[in-house]
Amino acid sequence: MSDSLVQARGLRKWFGALEAVHGIDFDVQAGEVFGFLGPNGAGKSSTMRMIGCVSPRSAGELQVLGMDPDTDGPWIRSRLGVVPQQDNLDLELSVQDNLHVYGRYFGISRAAVRAKAVELLDFVQLTDRAADPVEQLSGGMKRRLTIARSLVNEPELMLLDEPTTGLDPQARHLLWDRLFQLKQQGVTLIITTHYMDEAEQLCDRLVVMDGGLIVAEGSPRELIARYATREVLELRLRPGARNGWDETLKDVADRVEELPDRLLLYASDGEAALAAAHQRGVQPVSSLIRRSTLEDVFLRLTGRSLVD
Amino acid sequence: MTAHGIAEPGSRALSGWQAMLRVVEGLWIWYRRNWRATAVSNVAQPLLYLAAFGVGFGGLIDASPHAAQATGGVPYLLYLAPALLTVSAVQNATFESTYPIFSAFRSQRTYWGITATPITPAQLVTGQLVGIALRLTVSATAYVLVIAPFGAIRGPGVLAALVFAVLCGMAFSAPLMALAAAWKKGRTPFAAISRFVVLPMVLFSGTFFPVSQLPRAVQALVRISPLWHGTELARGAALGTLRLWPAAGHLAYLTALLAVGVLLSRWRFRVRLTP
Amino acid sequence: MRALQELSRALGAPRAGLLMRVLPPALYVGRARMLVLRASRVSRNIWIMILSGVCEPLFFLVAMGQGLGGLVGAVVGPAGQQLSYAAFIAPGLLAASAMNGAVYDTTYSVFFKLKYAKLYDAVLATPLGPMDIALGEIIWALIRGGMYSAGFLMIMLVTGLISSPWAVLALPVALFVTFAFASVGMAATSFMRSWQDFGLVQLAVLPMFLFSDTFVPLSVYSPAAQWLTQASPLYHAVTLLRDLTTGAIGWSMLGHGAYLLVMTAAGILVASGRLKALLLH
């Protein structure tokens, strides 16, 4: 317990009548990458803002780096690196001035912040854009600059709210690579995302949030084992084909899900399930056997309907 | 054309008139919900200026012997009222044809939404300009209606003054719109334009005092100002002192400026929207 | 540029000590000057900045003083002396530009950084608190206002519109006026919801600009209108500055000063009470 960097017990947040976080418990250990997964409105960002000491909690306990955000906010923030959901770079300043000015907010000396900026721009591959106005950067470059900015105070704990949303695959992979490097340097990372592949790639441990509550917790592998099967068989059906197959196929798989155009059979052996389905008269247009992913876990836990 | 006004394949897309009306309708729907924000600056501003300078101060000026000579013996309130009508049209036109245009291209990107429909960039320019002209007319009419009971106008000539004021506003609006459409950088020059172009124009174009009070060299410079031409027209119409040839000259200048502005705007809109 | 940064440090540092003891660290960590540093980085060219700030009152001074002054002739000054119209409006314009600058810097400019640029979200993720931000913005408004006022006073001096050595006090008084309006502006911004609300700011500022004895001598109004004018904070600022530039020194100046002092205190009180709710939610 003593080496957890963030500890929450019964943590709640409400805005007037709207309750965003309904009482959650979690621990983030030093050196791990901890993920918050969940659909929009699940309470991830509210939780991140409470950890970041910019949003006072409404009830419950919260300790960050062993301190209380309500009273020790400035000291906690001086050891945090924050990458918000939407880049809030200073558009009126150049790339390097963004780092200089931000470093000065942390009270870092001019000489030190200048040296640090050179190092960070190299780390995020923006050295040749140092003197450009931020405005001219692409989305991926801005994201990298935001990450560089969050590192200016050499944080022990980083909070990354949807770090790769809206980026192209190249930019995403570059960011993942940088986050791995940080983890190897011993930085603890807390990430929110709704990209399942990202969570599987990066997180040691994660919690799935839905409607302000934590609905599952564990490593990606554990969650898949607990909430999904080893494989998934997807059968694409002819449009307008009869429904009710889930009854017929009930005992072929651990769980059968019927979608308008597809049948999903969660089974440990996809080939065997396919053979059994054929035997019972299912004639799919096509079939696909794949490994279960966190996405299956996610959809199982939070449902398929849109949350807005 | 079908019953829904959708062009059939092969027929000409949309007549300019219809397209323009659709753009204006879109702007009007926005205005109906948001007019309060600009009502203060558009109508209250000239009224406050008129109250400050025309009413109490007017007595002080009318009492001075120099003044009667310079204003042609007209009471200062009557002298000032039509000029503020024109000033207000130009100031509103400046705002309406800079930030909203810039933002429709850049942050809100609404123009790309509009030109993804059958409406062409040139039709969009016309619609946007007509929309601005309508707003100027609404504000100017409100101003005239408020000042009329206070004896700040002399007669029906003020209706012609209203038209001239809107024309003057549009002559300033169209070229600015071209600039706003061409501007791609984040730091806009619009604040500088209102500070270094519009403000001196308002102060030195014969609004508060006759241009004859200024040094000769400055007087020559004032003739470039569209506001001076607009003020001459509006004041002449409101006071019934307009003479044919000077009026024709002022009208020609403003119309030419408007025409150049429209052409430039069409060009910039086309380049930006259909590269 | 360096001089500006030195100045900002000098202004920011001594405040830190006292406020640090009064305010909880969640609100204030004594680094307001870092925001001033940011502002000075953004406005790279001070000369252009000063020029643009001085130009506006200067245009009014030349146009109204020259053009309208020619029609009006002389007006009666605060001590009953005959005053050229230009010398009458110059201190009024000085006060009005201090007001306009302070209100702009603490309303439009702050609102934009708050809601659109999300600048303060980024600042609050560092150790800085809401009070560092508010003070930083106010100090920056003071630095700018001070430069504009100094520039305009130089012009008044050169063009012979100053008739008393008491005018040396006009610069600190103009700074005080800036501070008073900046604190009220900051308080007003904490209530703003959208751009629509700025119509109200204009509705407050424009009548003050036009009716506070700035352009039109108070004596032309009816007694009721005179009383109304005297309620306007800008009236007190204009009167103080006009008394100084024309040398009409008297006890009434203390009253004008007290009005502005109360206004400043009210502004700070409201702003500091609301900042936390505004920025940390």
Q: Residue B38: CA atoms inside 13 Å, Cβ hemisphere, count?
A: 23
Mean pLDDT across chain C: 87
Residue A242 pLDDT more than 70? no
Residue C70 and residue B209: Cβ atoms within 8 Å? yes
A135 close to B (CB below 8 A): yes
Distances (CA, A) of B174 to A88, B222, B225, C92: 35, 20, 15, 36
Please list every residue in chain C whose beta carbon sits closer than 8 Å to the beta carbon of residue A153. Answer: 126
Query: Using 50, 70 and 90 to split pLDDT, how confident is the model at C250?
Result: very high
Q: Residue C59: which of B48, B53, B200 has the nearest Cβ?
A: B200
| B177 pLDDT more than 70 | yes
Which one has a higher pLDDT value, A139 or C196? A139
Q: Is the pLDDT of residue C186 over 50?
A: yes
pLDDT tier at C272 (50, 70, 90 boundaries)?
A: confident
CB nearest C199 (choices: B40, B192, B204): B40
Instruction: Give every CB contact of residue A247 below 8 A, 6+ residues apart in sequence.
Output: none
pLDDT at B8 (0 to 100): 55
Would an 8 Å CB–CB cutoff place C3 in contact with chain B?
no
The per-residue pLDDT for C247 is 92
CA-wise closest residue to A199 among A84, A35, A44: A35
Contact C38 A90 (CB under 8 A): yes
* Residue A93 DSSP label: S
Q: Taking 70 as the threshold, does the pLDDT of residue A270 lie above it?
A: yes
Longest dimension (CA), chain A: 75
- Output the pLDDT for position C275: 79
With 70 as the cut, is the pLDDT of residue A294 above it?
yes
Q: Which range is least confidently modeled, A189-198, C19-28, C48-57? A: C19-28
Per-residue pLDDT tens over the stretch A162-215: 998 888 888 889 889 989 999 999 999 999 987 888 888 899 999 999 999 999
Across the range B55-81, mean pLDDT stands at 83
Q: What is the Cα–Cα distance from A195 to A38, expressed in whole angstroms?
A: 10
Out of A60-64, A138-142, B66-70, the most confident range is: A60-64
Name which of A237, A236, A276 is nearest A254 in CA terms: A276
- B236 contacts B165 by C-beta, under 8 angstroms: no
Residues 38-57 of C with CB under 8 A from B: 52, 55-56
Domain membership of residue B153 (yes or no) is yes
What is the pLDDT confidence band of residue A2, given thresholds at 50, 70 and 90?
A: low
pLDDT of C16 strictly over 80:
no
Q: Least CB-CB distance to C42: which of A93, A100, A150?
A: A93
Give Cα C8 distance to the centre of its chain.
17
Please state the φ and ψ torsions of residue C101, each to the nearest 5 degrees: -60, -45
Sketch out chain A's domains with CATH numbers: 6-218 (3.40.50.300), 229-292 (3.30.70.980)
Say how far residue C276 (Cα) sits from the centre of its chain.
Answer: 24
Q: Are A160 and A183 in contact (CB under 8 A)?
A: no
In a domain, B8, yes or no: no
Q: Does A91 touch chain B (CB under 8 A)?
A: yes
- pLDDT for the residue numbered B222: 94
A160 sits in which H/E element: strand A157-161
Element of type H or E holding A21: strand A18-29
Which band of pLDDT confidence, cut at 50, 70 and 90, is reported for residue B3? very low
**Residue linked to tokens 């306009």:** C100
Specify the pairing of strand A157-161 against strand A188-193.
parallel
| Helix orientation angle between C252-279 and C130-158, rounded to the nearest 10 degrees | 140
Alpha-carbon gap, residue B50 to A224, rounded angstroms: 75
Alpha-carbon distance C96 to A130, whole Å? 41
Is residue B120 included in any domain, yes or no? yes
ipTM of the complex: 0.88
Q: What length is written for chain A?
A: 308
How large is the average pLDDT for residues B193-214? 93
- Cα gap C39→A104, rounded to integer Å: 13
Residue C278 with chain A: CB contacts under 8 Å: none
How many structural domains does chain B have? 1
In angstroms, rounded to a whole number, what is the distance separating the alpha carbons of residues C167 and C172?
Answer: 10
The reply to whether residue C41 touches residue A101, judged by beta carbons under 8 angstroms, is: yes
**Cα separation, C217 vs C208, whole angstroms:** 14
Please report which residue ranges of chain B form alpha helices under DSSP H: 16-39, 45-49, 57-63, 65-71, 76-96, 99-105, 110-115, 121-147, 157-182, 190-193, 199-204, 216-222, 226-239, 244-273
The pLDDT of residue B1:
41
What does the angle CA B183 – CA B186 – CA B192 come to, to the nearest 5 degrees? 70
Mean of pLDDT values over A109-125? 94
What would the pLDDT profile of A57-75 be if each residue is shown by its tens digit? 999 999 999 999 998 989 9
Q: Would you state the structure tokens that stand for residue A158, as one six-digit string?
A: 């980083």
Match 């791990």 to its residue by tokens. Answer: A32
* Per-residue pLDDT at C152: 95
Give the model's confidence band at B143: pLDDT under 50 very low, under 70 low, under 90 confident, else very high: very high
Per-residue model confidence as pLDDT tens digits over B223-270: 999 999 999 999 999 999 999 999 999 999 999 999 999 999 999 999
Determine the pLDDT at residue C29: 84
Residue A230 vs residues A233, A253, A267: alpha-carbon distances, Å: 10, 11, 7
Confidence of residue A228 (pLDDT cuts 50, 70, 90): confident
Q: Is residue B2 part of a domain?
A: no
Q: What are phi and psi of B240, to 5 degrees?
A: 75, 30
CA gap A236, A239 in Å, rounded: 9
Q: Which residue has the tokens 């002389």?
A: C74
According to the model, what pLDDT value does residue C125 have? 92
For chain C, what percent of residues have pLDDT higher than 70? Answer: 91
Q: In a 3-state reduction of DSSP, which class is residue B28?
A: helix
* pLDDT for C238 beyond 50: yes
* Residue ranges making up the domain that contains B83: 16-273
**pLDDT tops 70 at residue C4:** no
- Inter-CA distances, B16 with A188, B12, B19, C129, Å: 62, 10, 5, 56
**Identity of the residue numbered B222:** V
Least confident of A113-117, C7-11, C32-36, C96-100: C7-11
Expressed as residue numbers, the domain containing C29 is 2-279
Task: Report the alpha-carbon distance of residue C146 to residue A303 in Å, rounded.
Answer: 61
Asked if B53 reaches chain C (Cβ–Cβ under 8 Å), the answer is yes
- Looking at residue A133, the DSSP 8-state letter turns out to be B
Measuring CA to CA, which residue among C195, C206, C202 is closest to residue B34?
C195
- Set of chain C residues whose Cβ sits within 8 Å of the Cβ of A90: 38, 42, 117, 119, 122
With a pLDDT cut of 70, the percent of chain B lying above it is 94
What integer pLDDT is reported at residue C11 of this predicted model?
A: 45
Note the Cα B218 to chain centre separation in Å.
24
* pLDDT of A35 strictly over 60: yes
Helix (H) or strand (E) holding A165: none
Assess A41–B contact: CB distance below 8 Å, yes or no. no
Task: Round to whole Å and give the CA distance between C34 and C39.
Answer: 9
What pLDDT score does B6 carry? 52
* Chain C interface test: which of B38, B57, B197 (most C C-beta within 10 Å): B57
* φ, ψ of residue C82 in degrees (nearest 5): -75, 135
Mean pLDDT throughout B157-173? 97
Of the residues C71, C82, C105, the best mutation for testing chain B's interface (the one with the most B CB atoms within 10 Å of its CB) is C71
Contacts of A68 in chain C (CB under 8 A): none
Contact A40, A302 (CB under 8 A): no
User: Could you give phi then psi for residue B215, rounded to 5 degrees?
Assistant: -60, 150
**Sequence-separated (6 or more) residues with CB below 8 Å from residue C72:** B60, B61, B64, B67, C85
pLDDT tens for each residue of A8-27:
999 999 998 899 999 999 99
